[in-house]
């Protein structure tokens, strides 16, 4: 079945256009509600959101959809995506919904769904909901219409939960930490959790106004946190994205530490403690070859999946792994969360920093990355990767890199972009290959 609504991470698009309208959101609520009306108990859905202006509109529409089919709604207000996954499970809800477009600009929004176990929905569930969205759903009798309420202690519940990821004898006293929340969902909870564990916290991106989410701050715009770390003489910088399910770190010198390095750090520490499950790490095809070589040197494996944290998570659950993620900063630590959680990952990194006694620049750069280049080619319509000229160019590039590196070409699941990535030991060769493929894609597009 061709997907019209669900992409690689829920439903996402430009506000008031395409699939991201109030009318569609209401139908999503009705469809998802009907799909999860199972059993005789009173059914409940937990709805959270980030700080986008359109979140109010989408929240109201979803509430209307869910209540109209007889499902009660609990609203949390702005909270990270992993907090909604956590609360869905802890409140014994039938479904969780996060309204967010993650790292995208404020003009976009999205809907992410979690099952009662706190995990993102399976393909089967998404396909079933797809089929229901465009069909008329039976509405609840008047006496069975759902109720809606807001809870005031959701932030405190989440802060308490994430702090459990840190051993009880570890405190962050003496650490000065810059925390950049991207003017997004974690603007209250992430700085509070780190401060409560003893660190001195300098905040960035904690003044959301509805339109400044991810705007010059956060994990996709690192200049602000880099400048603040150096200016403040901080020990480390923590940068989250709009819904706080990903993390990028900056060391005390202002140098970037990406998800690959963080996975290497956490996996190494857990392996030393004897608590690394699965014998390695799960990451995507975009993770650096240097990570794979580093892990192999530690006697650990790197299993690769398609891009998207849901694919990483699926393989982790299937293979019994407890550490996985993406180079872009999604960190999935199944001992502590059911989805990517930037705050939990940040606390793990800070705990390692305290326990090691080393500066971040020494501790966090675990391996030397292989030269890697990623470029995006935007297109308006069509399928550039189906063009025969593009196929031929890709085949030639793969042959040139054979045994020396890797080429990964894919269409973005959230934007009209073709992502072209190559890596290898020869940086000049990598650049030539990427430029050649990008040119072919641009011409076809």
Tens digit of each residue's pLDDT, the chain (445 residues): 567 899 878 999 999 999 999 999 999 999 999 999 988 899 999 999 999 999 999 999 999 999 999 999 999 999 999 999 999 999 999 999 999 999 999 999 999 999 999 999 998 999 999 999 999 999 999 999 999 999 999 999 999 999 999 999 999 999 999 999 999 999 999 999 999 999 999 999 999 999 999 999 999 999 999 999 999 999 999 999 999 999 999 999 999 999 999 999 999 999 999 999 999 999 999 999 999 999 999 999 999 999 888 899 999 999 999 999 999 999 999 999 999 999 999 999 999 999 999 999 999 999 999 999 999 999 887 789 998 999 999 999 999 998 889 999 988 876 789 999 999 999 999 999 999 999 999 988 8
Residue 240 bridge partners (DSSP): 247
pLDDT for residue 444: 87
Domain definitions of the chain by residue range: 6-152, 172-255, 257-342+358-363, 372-444
Tell me the per-residue pLDDT of 3-61, one tens digit each, with 9 for 90 and over: 789 987 899 999 999 999 999 999 999 999 999 998 889 999 999 999 999 999 999 99
User: In 10 A of CB 404, how many CB atoms?
Assistant: 12
Same fold, 257-342+358-363 and 372-444: no
Nearest to 210 by CA among 414, 32, 386, 57: 57
Q: 3-state DSSP call for residue 212?
A: coil
Alpha-carbon distance of 11 to 27, in angstroms, equals 13
- What does DSSP say about strands 72-78 and 148-150: parallel, antiparallel, or unpaired? parallel
Any residues with CB less than 8 A from the CB of 422 and at least 6 apart, and which?
A: 372, 373, 397, 401, 405, 406, 407, 408, 430, 433, 434, 437
Q: Which two tokens stand for residue 289?
A: 């070859």
pLDDT for residue 2: 65
Topology of the domain covering 172-255: Alpha-D-Glucose-1,6-Bisphosphate; Chain A, domain 3 (3.40.120)
Q: Kindly name the residue from 60, 68, 100, 102 that is annotated as catalytic.
A: 102
Residue 14 bridge partners (DSSP): 108
Annotation says 102 is catalytic: yes
388, exposed or middle or buried, with CB in 10 Å at 0-12, 13-18, 19+?
exposed
Query: Is the Cβ–Cβ distance between 424 and 401 less than 8 Å?
Result: yes
pLDDT for residue 383: 86
Alpha-carbon distance of 321 to 59, in angstroms, equals 35
Residue 253 vs residues 195, 229, 264: alpha-carbon distances, Å: 22, 8, 20
pLDDT for residue 381: 77
Q: Given this structure, which CATH class describes domain 6-152? A: alpha beta
Query: Is the Cβ–Cβ distance between 265 and 364 less than 8 Å?
Result: yes
The matching CATH number, chosen from 3.40.630.30, 3.40.50.300, 3.30.310.50, 3.20.190.10, for 372-444 is: 3.30.310.50
Q: What is the DSSP string of 112-166?
A: EEE-TTSSBPPHHHHHHHHHHHTSPPPPPPGGG---EEE-S-HHHHHHHHHHTTS
Q: Which two tokens stand for residue 266?
A: 């956490």
Q: What is the DSSP string of 286-340?
A: TS-HHHHHHHHHTT-EEEEE-SSHHHHHHHHHHHT-SEEE-TTSBEEETTT-SS-
The rounded radius of gyration (Å) of the Cα atoms in the chain is 22
pLDDT for residue 416: 85
CATH 3.60.20.10 fits 257-342+358-363, yes or no: no
Residue 203's Cβ-side half-sphere holds a number of Cα atoms within 13 Å equal to 18
pLDDT for residue 3: 79
Q: How many residues does the chain have?
A: 445
pLDDT for residue 382: 78
pLDDT for residue 8: 76
* 414-436 CB burial, b ≥16 within 10 A, e <16: beeebbbbbbbeeeebbeebbeb
Any residues with CB less than 8 A from the CB of 194 and at least 6 apart, and which?
A: 172, 177, 179, 201, 238, 346, 347, 350
Any residues with CB less than 8 A from the CB of 205 and at least 6 apart, and which?
A: 180, 181, 182, 183, 184, 187, 217, 218, 224
Phi-psi region of 146 (alpha: psi -120 to 50; beta: other; left: phi over 0): beta
- What does DSSP say about strands 323-325 and 176-180: parallel, antiparallel, or unpaired? unpaired
Q: What single-letter DSSP state applies at residue 254?
A: S
Nearest to 342 by CA among 362, 326, 322, 366: 326
Alpha-carbon distance of 358 to 352, in angstroms, equals 9
Q: What single-letter DSSP state applies at residue 345?
A: H
Angle at 42 between CA 39 and CA 48, to 5 degrees: 110
CA 291 distance to own-chain centroid: 20
């Amino acid at each position: 079945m061709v997907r019209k609504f669900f992409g690689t991470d829920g439903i996402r698009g430009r506000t008031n256009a395409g699939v991201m309208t109030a009318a569609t959101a209401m139908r999503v609520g009705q469809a998802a509600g009907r799909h999860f009306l199972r059993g005789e108990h009173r059914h409940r859905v937990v709805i959270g959101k980030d700080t986008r202006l359109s979140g109010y509109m989408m929240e109201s529409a979803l509430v209307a959809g869910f209540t109209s089919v007889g499902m009660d709604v609990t609203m949390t207000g702005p909270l990270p995506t992993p907090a909604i996954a956590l609360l869905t499970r802890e409140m014994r809800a039938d479904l969780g919904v996060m309204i967010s477009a993650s790292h995208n600009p404020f003009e976009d929004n999205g809907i992410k769904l979690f099952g009662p176990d706190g995990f993102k929905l399976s393909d089967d569930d998404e396909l079933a909901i797809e089929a229901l969205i465009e069909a008329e759903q039976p509405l609840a009798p008047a006496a069975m219409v759902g109720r809606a309420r807001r809870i005031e202690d959701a932030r405190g519940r989440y802060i308490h939960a994430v702090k459990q990821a840190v051993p009880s004898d570890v405190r962050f006293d003496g650490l000065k930490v810059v925390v950049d929340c991207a003017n997004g969902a974690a603007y209250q909870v992430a700085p509070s959790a780190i401060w409560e564990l003893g660190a001195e916290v300098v905040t960035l991106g904690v003044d959301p106004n509805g339109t400044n989410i991810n705007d010059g701050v956060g994990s996709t715009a690192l200049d602000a946190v880099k400048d603040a770390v150096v200016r403040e003489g901080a020990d480390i910088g923590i940068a989250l994205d709009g819904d706080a399910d990903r993390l990028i770190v900056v060391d005390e010198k202002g140098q970037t530490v990406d998800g690959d390095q963080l996975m290497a750090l956490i996996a190494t520490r857990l392996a030393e403690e004897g608590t690394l499950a699965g014998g390695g790490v799960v990451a995507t095809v975009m993770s650096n070859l240097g990570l794979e070589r580093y892990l192999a040197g530690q006697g650990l494996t790197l299993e690769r999946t398609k891009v998207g944290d849901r694919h990483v998570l699926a393989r982790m659950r299937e293979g019994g792994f407890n550490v996985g993620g993406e180079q872009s900063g999604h960190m999935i630590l199944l001992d502590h969360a059911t989805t990517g959680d930037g705050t939990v990952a940040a606390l793990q990194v800070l705990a390692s920093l305290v326990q090691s006694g080393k500066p971040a620049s020494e501790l966090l750069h675990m391996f030397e990355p292989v030269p890697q280049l990623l470029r995006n080619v935007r297109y308006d319509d069509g399928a550039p990767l189906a063009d025969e000229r593009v196929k031929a160019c890709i085949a030639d590039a793969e042959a040139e890199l054979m045994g020396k590196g890797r080429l990964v070409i894919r269409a973005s699941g959230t934007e009209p972009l073709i992502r072209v990535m190559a890596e290898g030991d020869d940086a000049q060769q990598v650049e030539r290959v990427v430029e050649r493929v990008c040119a072919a894609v641009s011409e076809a597009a």
